[in-house]
Amino acid sequence: MTRTPRPLTRQATAAMLLLAGGAASAANFTLSGAFDIGVYRGFDEQKHVGTVQRSNLTLAGSEDLGSGLSATFRLQHRFEADTGAIENSGKPFWHGESSVGLKGSFGQVRLGRALDVVSNNDWAFDPWYNYDRIASPAWNNWHWNYATDRSSNGGNAEYGRLNNGIFYDSPKVAGWSLHYSGAFESAPGDSGNNNGLAVQYGANGIAAMAATSKNRSGDTVRFFGLSWSTGAWTLMGALDRSVYNDVVDSTAKVTSLGLRYAMGAANLKAGWAKRDVDGAKSNFLGLGADYALSKRTTVYASFGRQDPDAGNTRNAYGVGITHTF
């Protein structure tokens, strides 16, 4: 059951103050976001009106410090557009990101809360950019046994984002770039600190990524992605392996393939994934279509099918609208 939190007066006031004073305090200040609502039947076999993709409000800015150096900040609030509640009520108000950093010829360093090195870069290898809970093979299968932190949300797991972290993104050299995320705080019983590393390549229609990360509980994830774009077509694939560290480890292996085809204002998408968790196997199929009504407004249809070898096949489908600004 989703619990609607009490009104967050202090946070809302802080956001208003940022909006009012942001233009004066940052040389470059932006307010952006996305609102998404769909009508769908989920894999829980229930009917819903709610977020199929994601809704967020983002405040970001930078200040030129001279000599090619800039100070940056980014705050992102994630919410359920159908109710106005915080997305997943156990998460912090600035669930998406809260970071400050420096950017220059050396790349960019950020401190705070943000996506870890795997989740911040893997989206390029899924037709839905890991952004659709019905059709996306990534959303429904990747990193099955891996949480960036098992207990950072009042004892609940955090999938993707790292608190108290340091994040580094190198400049691109001949198409190659290096990315790091880590946190140096730990608690009694932890097996170590969080550390992750990714190497990316992007040029001439080809994108590739190899990444690995380990959380402070000893869980690990390894990810490999490859995509190729030519004309209106983009083909992609990924291999993902995640291990939950316990007395007896649990290992999840996922292979996924995807296709995206641009046809004027429309985008057609298809994706497939095979998941193996300790020998229990499942196939996933996703189909979808987007149509841009304007530069900022898109309508879409999504279909997903979960087909485990053990039976109990489930389908999900729906339509929705997304507006960005």
- Written as tens digits, the pLDDT of the chain (325 aa) is 333 333 444 444 444 444 444 444 447 999 999 999 999 999 999 999 999 998 999 999 999 999 999 999 999 999 999 998 988 778 899 999 999 999 999 999 999 999 999 999 999 999 999 999 999 999 999 999 999 999 888 888 999 999 999 999 999 999 999 999 999 887 777 888 999 999 999 999 999 999 999 999 999 999 999 999 999 999 999 999 999 999 999 999 999 999 999 999 999 999 999 999 999 999 999 999 999 999 999 999 999 999 998 789 999 999 999 999 9
**23 occurs within a structural domain:** no
How far, in Å, CA of 90 to CA of 1, rounded? 12
Q: Can you give the pLDDT at residue 23?
A: 45
**9 occurs within a structural domain:** no
**17 occurs within a structural domain:** no
Q: Can you give the pLDDT at residue 306?
A: 97
- In degrees and rounded to multiples of 5, residue 13 shows phi and psi of -65, -40
How far, in Å, CA of 122 to CA of 225, rounded? 7
**301 occurs within a structural domain:** yes
Q: Can you give the pLDDT at residue 106?
A: 97
* AA identity, residue 237: G
Q: Can you give the pLDDT at residue 6?
A: 39
Q: How far is CA 220 from the centre of its chain?
A: 18
Q: Can you give the pLDDT at residue 184?
A: 87
**282 occurs within a structural domain:** yes
How far, in Å, CA of 220 to CA of 133, rounded? 24
Measured in Å, how far apart are the chain's first and last C-alpha atoms?
A: 31
Report how many domains make up the chain. Answer: 1
Domain holding 264: CATH number?
2.40.160.10
Does the reported pTM lie above 0.85?
yes
Query: Which among 315, 290, 313 is positioned nearest to 127, based on CA atoms?
Result: 290
How far, in Å, CA of 311 to CA of 307, rounded? 7
Domain that holds residue 203: 28-38+53-324
Q: Can you give the pLDDT at residue 17?
A: 45
How far, in Å, CA of 296 to CA of 273, rounded? 30
**85 occurs within a structural domain:** yes
Q: Can you give the pLDDT at residue 38?
A: 97
Helix ranges (H only) for the chain are 9-25, 137-141
Query: Which among 151, 168, 142, 149 is positioned nearest to 215, based on CA atoms?
Result: 149
Contact between 304 and 40 (Cβ < 8 Å): no
**68 occurs within a structural domain:** yes
**48 occurs within a structural domain:** no
Q: Tell me how crowded residue 296 is: count the other CB atoms within 10 A of its CB.
A: 11
- Burial group, residue 132, by CB count within 10 angstroms (0-12, 13-18, 19+): buried
How far, in Å, CA of 36 to CA of 128, rounded? 14
